[in-house]
Amino acid sequence: MEQEGQMERRKRYKRPLSLVIIGTLFLLFPIWNYLSICIMSGYPYYRPLYVLGKMDPLVVLLMVLSLAVGVGLLLVKRWGWRLFFAFAALLIGYNVWAVFSLPDYWINIMYLVYSALGVAAAIYFLRPDISTPFMKMYPRGWRFEKRQPVQHDIKIDGKPFKTRDLSPRGLYVDWPECDAEVGQEVEIEVEGMLLKGGIVRIDSNGAGIAFRYQRKESRNTIKNLLSATV
């Protein structure tokens, strides 16, 4: 049972596939950029010091920042999230300048594509469900099932509470001055069912709880409860 509980907790920290792809692309971006410059300018790719010496210092800086951003995003670090926006602003600004300064049509198209990708990535990382785990002092993880605003009477460790939102995998409960701790396991009674849950976050208004050891029957019961409140 203890091993099963650890598996339940680990699921919450699984990174979204989109985040893994974006982080990996940031790690690959310097290689792609380096090879593209070598091909377009006829530089020998096997002489990196020579090629880097020929490149615009700002481009070299963007390549280095890209590596740092990729590492920070994949490790889910706050500095990685913030560095991404610094990188995106610098990349978009440089690309806009390049479009108006360089006469080459195809290079300008490439810079416009880079800018569009930078804007799209910025919009993605500004989404609350993506940015929140980066900004928490403790590991919150990502929520893979949207919670629905529902006020419902429940009990936690035998004490009455009222939910603020609910999903088949967790809930947020009004619990001012919560005396529990993040990671603590609690017993939850919902619709006569007794469920185990783990506290994943605490704020001034209440606590977020993720269900553990769930069976299909309990998830279906909560889904039916949610359907009845729509």
Which of 135, 170, 199 finishes a domain? 135
Q: Are residues 37 and 61 in the same domain?
A: yes
Three-state SS annotation for 70-91: HHHHHCCCHHHHHHHHHHHHHH
Encode pLDDT of 80-116 as tens digits. 888 999 998 898 888 888 778 877 766 677 777 877 8
Looking at residue 67, its pLDDT comes to 95
Under 8 Å CB-to-CB from 211, ≥6 apart: which residues?
168, 169, 170, 171, 188, 195, 196, 197, 218
Looking at residue 1, its pLDDT comes to 46
Q: Do the beta carbons of residue 211 and residue 188 sit within 8 Å?
A: yes
- pLDDT higher than threshold 90 for residue 28: yes
- For the chain, what percent of residues have pLDDT higher than 90? 26
Question: Is residue 143 included in any domain, yes or no?
Answer: no
Q: Are residues 61 and 118 in the same domain?
A: yes
Question: Is residue 152 included in any domain, yes or no?
Answer: yes
User: How far is it, in rounded angstroms, from Cα 84 to Cα 86?
Assistant: 5
Question: Is residue 201 included in any domain, yes or no?
Answer: yes
Q: Are residues 58 and 130 in the same domain?
A: yes
- Structure-token pair, residue 203: 């704020």
- pLDDT higher than threshold 90 for residue 121: no
- pLDDT higher than threshold 80 for residue 155: yes
Under DSSP, the state recorded for 67 is: H
- pLDDT higher than threshold 50 for residue 5: no
For the chain, the domain total comes to 2
| Full residue range of the structural domain in which residue 130 is found | 17-135
Which of 135, 168, 198 finishes a domain? 135
Name the E strands within 63-150. Answer: 148-149
Which of 78, 104, 135 finishes a domain? 135
CATH code assigned at 179: 2.40.10.220
Looking at residue 131, its pLDDT comes to 64
Which DSSP string corresponds to 161-228?
A: EEEEEEETTEEEEE-TT--S-TT-EEEEEETTEEEEEEEEEE-SSEEEEEEES--HHHHHHHHHHHHH
pLDDT band at 6 (very low <50, low <70, confident <90, very high): very low
Encode pLDDT of 9-23 as tens digits. 444 446 777 888 889
Q: Which amino acid, one-letter code, is at 54?
A: K
Looking at residue 2, its pLDDT comes to 45
Per-chain mean pLDDT for the chain: 81
Question: Is residue 5 included in any domain, yes or no?
Answer: no
Encode pLDDT of 163-200 as tens digits. 988 888 888 999 988 888 888 899 999 888 888 888 88
